[in-house]
Structure 1
Amino acid sequence: MPEIPLTMIVVLCLAAAAAGWIDAVVGGGGLLLLPALLLGLPNVPAVHILGTNKAVAIVGTTGAAVTYVRKAPVDVKIAVRIGLAALAGSMTGAFFAAGINSEVLRPVIMVVLLGVAAFVMLKPAFGTAPATGPATRQRTIAAILLAGVGIGFYDGLFGPGTGTFLVLALTAVLHMDLVTASATAKIVNVCTNAGALAMFAYQGTVLWKLAALMALFNLLGGTVGAHMALKKGSGFVRGVLLVVVFSLIAKLAFDQWVG
């Protein structure tokens, strides 16, 4: 592992905690965690950043998933079906991630961030309606292909925003409310993280010591965030998410074209 200043380790651990909280509440913790790693470890190859990100994220996502399953109405059978497809998709995406570099990754993340910000601003009431009942076979298959294979592949290849994309896809395709979609997304996200992490670990592109420390903070943030989401819903985090997203866009744009 490269030498990392203590102050930067502290900053990365705090970012991991914040990312876990955001991911548990509304999804998209990777929108904070991955750029933080890119900014904090500028001389580390992008594939190692991606691998370390997965090792951190899977811990917090698992903690949030356990909290949700205990207290939220989740159709575990559907979640597992989508999750298995997502696991295969994420392993495939991670296999192709070895050829990515930071110069390509930063603009991609900026586009993703802008897309998420626009959606959150333009659709503030999305997912507030109650769930419409059991999903039909056709909608379940569509969710497996979109949320499982498609978003799973994206998560293995890039990753940022996966939780948010899963929540949006599950709400749109399966007509879930946001809390149920968030809970289901966590189970699926555990599978995408596991598939991608397995491939990154096989390729030897994980900074395990740093990841283990950051994972503890990510777990804490994810557990707290899941409890808050169950109590308050996801509306209260929209403003925070937008502030974080636009701040990261500005910083990544500065590093890409000015710094």
Structure 2
Amino acid sequence: MENLLLEWLSIDGFLLFVIGILAAIIGVMFGAAGFVLLPALLLVGIPIHATVAVNKFATGVSSFSTVLVLVLKKKVQLKQMLPLMLLAGLGGISGAFFATRLSELTMNIVACIVLIAMFIFVLKNNKAGLVTDHQDNEQRDGEQRTNLLAPFFIGIYDGGFGPGSALLNITYFLKNQFNYVKAAEMTRFMMFASCMSAFLFYFFYGIVDWGIAIPVTVGSIVGSHIGLKIVPYLKGKWLQILLPSIFFLLIIQVVADLLF
């Protein structure tokens, strides 16, 4: 325990804390925490599966902290989210199971295919008004019934790898007629469910490094609350440019991992 404490209070621990803050801010605002967190952890030599496990723990705990705030302030109804969270949780643990049986190369190929598909989807739907500034809070019942499988498959992707998974959830809620602020808020519930279920699998599998997980997680909690404060000030026109741009950068990152 003493060694862990020294590790958390070291320069490396502070760096991990800052990385967690930046990743969470970007994650809440644009759904791309993995764009910062995964490359940063891989860069310091942490194996891919251990990196994913730390990412799931940090994102799961930080999401839970924002979920509590959103529920207490009655911005999102927990009853409304529970069925979707259950599907996301089942997907998360399924994704973690598959990830521990796949190579890093296979994981990157899957990530690349999913991100390219969603990049095309966002580009195609920008002209149709996927992102708006309207404060619509109700979801069309027909849309909800026909898209229940989406949270499960996004959860599988998130539990197994995850770059852009929050952005996939945001896109899912946007497609179901929510405004961007509401989509970002509801995504925190989904990320909590898929990340924590996946983390539990990784924990029992024995690949969690607490020396890395704790400072990143504390930073993520701070960053997630900062991100939620910034989200309401984002404009629809900005997001129409930023969302496909972030998808594109994520694709470049994954392709780079495949080639180099």
Match of 2:20 among 10, 13, 16: 16
Q: Which of 132, 140, 154 in structure 2 is aligned with 1:135?
A: 140
Contact 2:159 2:194 in 1 (8 A): yes
CA separation in 1, counterparts of 2:139 and 2:243?
30
Change (3 A) 1:246 1:26: closer
Show structure 1 runs of 5+ residues with no match.
Answer: none
Query: d(CA) in 1 for partners of 2:148 and 2:246?
Result: 30
Task: Return closer, same or farther for 1:69/1:118 CA change in 2, 3 Å cut-off.
Answer: farther
Residues of 2 paired with 1:228 and 1:166: CA distance? 19
Alpha-carbon distance change, 250 to 132 in structure 1, aligned in 2, over 3 angstroms: closer
Q: How does 1:146-165 map to 2 (within 5 A)?
A: 146-147=150-151, 149-165=152-168
1:125-152 Cα offsets, whole Å, 9 max, x none, are: 523144273531x4333343212x2211
Partner of 1:103: 105
Q: TM-score, normalised by structure 1?
A: 0.80
1:52 aligns with one of 54, 63, 68: 54
What is the match of residue 215 of structure 1?
Answer: 217
Q: Distance in 1 between matches of 2:41 and 2:77?
A: 34
Deviations along 1:53-73, one digit per CA (max 9) or x if unpaired, are 111211222233334445574
Q: Is the 8 A contact 1:131 1:175 kept in 2?
A: yes
Q: Which runs of 5+ in 2 are unaligned?
A: none
Match of 2:177 in 1: 175
1-structure distance, mates of 2:74, 2:124: 27
Number of residue pairs matched by the alignment? 250
Percent identity reads 23
CA contact (8 A) 2:89 2:194 kept: yes
* Cα distance between partner residues in 2 of 1:11 and 1:152: 29
